[in-house]
Amino acid sequence: MQRPGFFITGLIVFVGVALSLAALAADSNSSAENIICRDPFSLGAGTHDTRGARTAAVRSSNASEIAEEIEAVSSAPPTRGSFMAKWQRVTGVNGYLLDVSTSELFSDYVEGFHDLDVGNVSGRVVTGLQPGTTYYYRVRAYDSTGPGPYSQVMSVTTVPTTGLIIHATFDSSITGNPNAAAIEAMINRAIAFYESLFSDPITIEILYRYSTTAPDGSPLGQGTLSRSDYTVYMIPWSTFINALRADATTSNDNVANASLPGSALSTNIVPASANGRAVGFNTPPAMFADGTVGDGGPYDGIVTINSGEPFQFTRPTSGGNYDAQSATEHEIDEVIGFGSRLGANSNDLRPQDLFSWSSAGVRNITSSGTRYFSINGGVTNIVNFNQDPQGDFGDWLSEDCPQAHPYVQNAFVCTGQSSDVTATSPEGINLDVIGYDLVNTSAPTPTPTPTPSLDPCYPNFTTAEGCDALSSLTTGTGNTALGWRSLFLNTNGSFNIGVGGGALALNNGSSNTAVGAAALLLNTTGSQNTAIGTDALVFNDSGVANTASGYFALMNNTTGGSNTAIGSEALTANAGGNNNTAIGNVTLTNSETTSDNVCVGGEAGSGITTANNNIIIGHHSGVHSVFGQESDRCFIDNISGAPVSAATAAIVMVDSDGRLGTFTADGPTRDAFSPKGIRPEAIPDAAKQAMLDLKVQNLRATITQQQQQIEMLTARLKEQAAQIQKVNAQLEMRKPAPQVVADKP
């Protein structure tokens, strides 16, 4: 069934910087989200088309502008950097000249706003202003004979708080339109929502257009209702993740950061330029008015509303019109950070992809199956992502028209319906967790309220404080849950303690202690575990008797048991290894399934991935320079090559039990070694002396016996020498006497 309304599609393409965005857009027949990047700063440009469904209500791509009625100008609140100047129309005039000043006497003027010809309209948004400043404005009408007298002076004060500023620039397609005042007021109302929600001290530069063409002059694609062009940057994975963690300001940020992956899912992350600045990077605007990017480009993005489609700039929106403000907010979301890598030819994630799940603990950043937006590891489904390839994969799945939830970011939007971004809407939560800082709306000096009396007794010896804490409990006893959704799904587990947002949220095991945001978050049946620190044992499912203390300690453990990890990222990669002890930051950090290792010291055993039953003391990787990884070995750092005192040095010996010492001693029985397993016992001093005397006596007897043996051997040698001489004499006697032979003739 064809759904009335419009949908959004996306495609991301990374090509060389020499190619222009305009060329790509001109060659594409489909709505696209294209990204072009260049070195060395990995600058890029993206486009996002909001396209209409194929119904009779949607006009063709070559449609001319709709001849629309002049709409009344609805009020628009001032923002930190702008206000809406309004006046009564005068009949028979050609237009109006606008003055804006910080002086009631108009001794000076705001740059660009002295005798500014705004056309024959009844209002104009004044931009580029300072927060908390009072501005004065006046107008005078003009006709063919010249300008008339000034109107009365009117004043407006911009919002005094510091925070996010969206600086709007209106091109001639808006300022020259008869409905310019209504269009500008609508845009300023949309901007006011963002500036009231976020406190980031950055200014976002956006060019707004009302046209049937793209920024490069090419016709908008068939069925396109609105479009956004924006600047992006490719930032290395760990660099962006570290900045995102450091930018956390809200409880949602802390919960979301706890669900971030422990290892990179892509080489880079691709935030919008404004999103990059929101988390502290130097990602300046770089887009020109034609949609191309380069150094000196003044805009973060461009928002185009199709003037050939039936948009309404005031509310309530009639049944046959699209709401222009919702469409504008949708495209602002795209410019400042929304979007998914799906539908692209790049594997690099967008920030929003970090929070895409298919079930608790199972990520899904593919276009198949169910995919939804969640900030607590998939435990809570905030809103489903669109998986229809006709729509944008970064937008929300939406119902048929009319919709029960017409969210701003719905992939399919209906006529006659409208919505706005709020702090608790899916859009507001998304912007919060990808790096924008929500304004703290709590009163600075709250009125004191009486301290409530304590509940006399919870059932089953239970203590629960916090939203949805222990809300599923049935038969479990002796549990304590403090924090948002701590021990949320626990029904029959007992004697657990969960302190912190999401601590032990899925647990049904017993005797677990979790202190810290997302500590033991995904534990289901594991028992007797202790996790202290953000993300400690966060993925543990059924492992038992583990102790993890420190940020990311034993983070990836699922089934391993009886492990002890103390220190930041200690045993962080362990999944199924057992009986390991790791004390120190980044200790045994790469071991996944090995067991029975004991490592003490920063990065001790950090190289072990296959070896078992090793003892490593000190800053040593556990990998031998010659033999590599071996099991059943002991390493002590800083021993080899270290000098010792010649006066006191002693040889260290090792017995079969692995005991070290500098001298030998007999076991409990004389001339016997201590059998393996017998514990050493303390020996009294008198007994020690007696043993030494006996040893000296035995040595002397041995020496005497050896001397006697030497004397016997010497006598035998003398006797053998005499016999040899006697034999030699006999041989000499047996030789024949020499004879003389005469030579006779």
Domain spans in the chain, listed from the N-terminal domain onward: 1-64+181-355+399-437
Cβ neighbors of 85 (< 8 A, separation 6 or more) are: 98, 100, 123, 124, 125, 126, 137, 139, 154, 156
Beta carbons of 553 and 533 less than 8 angstroms apart: yes
The SS3 call for residue 169 is strand
**DSSP states of 328-361:** HHHHHHHHHT---STTSS--PBPGGGGGEEEETT
Q: Which residues of the chain have pLDDT under 50?
A: 1-39, 53-63, 67, 442-456, 676-683
Rounded CA separation 174/328 (Å): 14
Rounded CA separation 574/595 (Å): 10
Please give the pLDDT value at position 199: 94
Please give the pLDDT value at position 223: 80
- Tell me what percent of the chain is helix, strand and coil, each rounded to the nearest 5: 20, 20, 60
What single-letter amino acid sits at 265?
L
Rounded CA separation 595/613 (Å): 6
Beta carbons of 334 and 257 less than 8 angstroms apart: no
What single-letter amino acid sits at 722?
A
What single-letter amino acid sits at 681?
E
Beta carbons of 138 and 154 less than 8 angstroms apart: yes
CA nearest 565: which of 525, 517, 522, 533?
Answer: 533
**Residue appearing with tokens 């220190």:** 567
Q: How many other C-beta atoms are found inside a 10 Å radius of the C-beta of residue 422?
A: 14
236 strand-pairing partners: 268
Please give the pLDDT value at position 64: 54
Rounded CA separation 36/346 (Å): 11
**Residue appearing with tokens 């956006």:** 206
Cβ neighbors of 544 (< 8 A, separation 6 or more) are: 509, 526, 527, 528, 529, 561, 562
Please give the pLDDT value at position 745: 54
Please give the pLDDT value at position 290: 97
**Residue appearing with tokens 């002693």:** 650
253 strand-pairing partners: none
